[in-house]
Amino acid sequence: MSSYQDSDSLPPRSEVGLAGFSNPGLELGEGEYERAGVEDKIEGFHLDSTRGASAGQAESQKRRGLAVRFRGVEVEIQGRQILRDVAGTVLPGELLALMGPSGSGKTTLLSVLTGRIQAKSGQVTLGGRPLTKNLRRMLCYVMQQDIFFPNLTVKDTLMCQAHLRLPDSVTFAEKEKIISVLVEELGIKKCLNTIVGNDFVRGVSGGERKRVNIACELLTDPSVMLLDEPTSGLDSSTSHSLIATLKHYAVKHQKTIISSIHQPSSLIFHMFDKLLLMSDGEVAYYGQASRIVDFFADLGMPCTAHENPADYMLDKVKESPEVRQDIVDYSNKFRISSVECPLLSKDETDTHLQSMAGELSEVKIAGTDGEGAGAELEEVESPQWASSFWMQLRTLTARNFKQQRPQILSLINVIKTLVTSIIPGLIWFQVPREEDQVKARAGMLFHLVLYWFITPIFRTLPSYPVERPIINKERLAGSYRLSAYFLAKVLSELPLAIPQLLVHITISFWLAGLNGAGAYFADMGIIALSTFTAEALGLLISVVFLRMDQTMAFSTSLIVLTVLLGGFYIQKLPFWLVWLRYLAIILFSFHATLQLEFTDDTSFRCAIQSFSPHCAAAHLNNPNETAYIPAQEILDQFIIPLPVWGNILVLVLYMLAFRVATYLVLRFVRTPGK
């Protein structure tokens, strides 16, 4: 009985595969496989996971692929069996197609191979070694969704990734050279200066965006590439071009590539060296892609000459439970004696994956001679991150600045700033300094404080839902990078938000005729501090509530309560509700601006029918003389318990508390995979 599972029982690939892509490694025996897995015949190149390929490297010195082997992989999620005894082998220079109907477990298997999901049992090896945290740095995972900042150009995107992923020892010129080589190989040189874009911002095409996604992952020169449906959403021609590029890259650089793919054309299908067909989490076929037609023919299910084999086999595994089981059973007959895709016994499948806890080493593969013979594995300690904190901070700050600039300084925001400053300024134009206008002046201050509390909250509410995939993708949830991420957001948005705040307050303040230059600059600082506090609160809300409907519902309720308790509409609360006032953040900025506005005892004339004891006594003693209400009596109407510095201190403490809370939630709750 011929085997479709192992390549050593098949004709040479040059006879059955794609012309020009033969791989003599397929003819290795079982013992040779294990030796190749350890040595991988790397010619004098150290697989250092903390470095990318140097710009001056010769092609022969690029990091070559490593053999990927997985045996008896089983995954169970919430009591449901997702994967059952899945196995396979992929060697350097090979392109494995992972196919199956929706829900067959393709993405789950990719997640196991990348270490993102812990398997219930089984074993995954990379280059003959069990997969560990440090070995994961030798592979890359290209997700189905192309996650980018839409306002960055392709060159900016790649350069930011180079700064984050490559060590500081790689110079700027070398990084540019690496990017230049990649964009040339992937065919995206013409769109380097085009923004990436998204569904709302016009940018590069879907195929170009996918190639940019792949280029980002290739910056570190990984040994193994895993791709989740890279042709999803692309037309047939673009899909063919993309897979052809991947095939060329795998053969040229001897990379190991595993890709899930859904209903490829026949031209695309025949570019794959191997096929792992899955159905309901089980292996329905493993072997050379070119032998799938013979497999189904031997099973009594012949595929017609003009039918796409990829469509045919997917239709068959979905035809009925009986047909599906027949295909799986027939595949298992070959797996019993298979080396590359063995069918394990019950006792063997109970072997759990080795624990990755405490692993602090990386694997280097070095040849002792020119042929790579005698290569051995040595474990060395490596830093967790390739780039330094300051490089990450600088890169994240520049990236966030470029991304936020078109949004914060957009035409609609400029118009909004002018309208919401000029119209209120005209309504409160040169408010008289009289006792009966005190409430009006306080209303203008409350408007300024409230506007710069609400605006930053609603600007930052979408931040985390939008940036969460990027945080997970770039592993920013670690304390080291998370600190840089937070600081970068503050530093990048500060120069963008301040000009609008400056223009808005300047127009409103002087049109309303508030309390002079000293109060103007002091109010500017206090409202700016209130704005930064509101931004911190908005980011915390977006992190806690992942769904926008929940975020908006909570934020709307919070803002309504803040307005009511902010100290303008009501000053006295029932004793059992007094504590609620201190949850209204704008109360402290409003009180501070009031204290700066009402500082002079001889500025506000008493009304004829005054409620002030001082004014009443002055009119009684000297009715013909102009009387002024003391500033303290005005402030007493608003019940202000803290001095100016006390209100400022409370705002600072609130801002720090929100930042720390957001950090903790991201660090320990919203980590990748949760």
Per-residue model confidence (pLDDT) at position 442: 92
Other Cβ atoms less than 10 A from the Cβ of 98: the count is 27
Please write down the HEC assignment for all residues of 526-583. HHHHHHHHHHHHHHHHHHHCCCHHHHHHHHHHHHHHHHHCCCCCCCCCCHHHHHHHHH
Whether the per-residue pLDDT at 34 is higher than 60: the answer is no
Of all residues in the chain, what percent carry a pLDDT higher than 90? 41
The pLDDT of residue 673 is 45
- In angstroms, the CA 60 to CA 129 distance is 24
Contact yes or no for 395/487 (Cβ under 8 A)? no
* Per-residue tokens: 255: 């990379």
| Torsion 638-641-643-648 (CA) sign | negative
Smallest Cα–Cα separation from 190: which of 220, 169, 160, 211? 211
Residue with token string 């993309």: 242
265, 244, 261, 262: which is closest to 308 by C-alpha? 265
Task: List Cα–Cα distances, 428 to 52, 501, 566, in angstroms.
Answer: 61, 19, 20
Q: How confident is the model at residue 78 (pLDDT cuts 50, 70, 90)?
A: confident
Over residues 28-34, the mean pLDDT reads 35
Bridging pattern class, strands 224-228 and 139-142:
parallel
The whole-chain average pLDDT of the chain stands at 81
CB 256 within 8 Å of CB 92: yes
pLDDT > 70: what percent of the chain?
Answer: 82
| 33 in Cβ contact with 339 (< 8 Å) | yes
Q: 604 CB contacts (<8 Å, ≥6 apart)?
A: 433, 434, 435, 437, 438, 598, 628, 629, 631, 634
Section 431-455 average pLDDT? 91
96-142 pLDDT, tens digit each: 999 999 888 999 999 999 888 888 888 999 988 888 888 888 888 99
Which residue(s) pair with 380 in the sheet? 362
Three-state DSSP class for 264? Answer: coil
pLDDT surpassing 70 at residue 7: no
DSSP code for 283? E
Distance of alpha carbon 509 from alpha carbon 294, whole angstroms: 82
Q: Where are the beta strands (DSSP E) in 186-237?
A: 224-228
CB of 627 within 8 A of CB of 606?
yes
Q: Tokens for 262?
A: 């859904």
Q: What is the pTM of this model?
A: 0.76
Question: pLDDT tens, 140-160?
Answer: 899 888 888 889 999 999 999
Most distant CA pair in the chain: distance in Å?
A: 120
| DSSP string for 149-193 | -TTSBHHHHHHHHHHHHS-TTS-HHHHHHHHHHHHHHHT-GGGTT
What tens digit of pLDDT does each residue of 623-665 get?
777 888 888 888 988 989 899 999 999 999 999 999 899 888 8
Q: What mean pLDDT comes out for the span 531-552?
A: 88
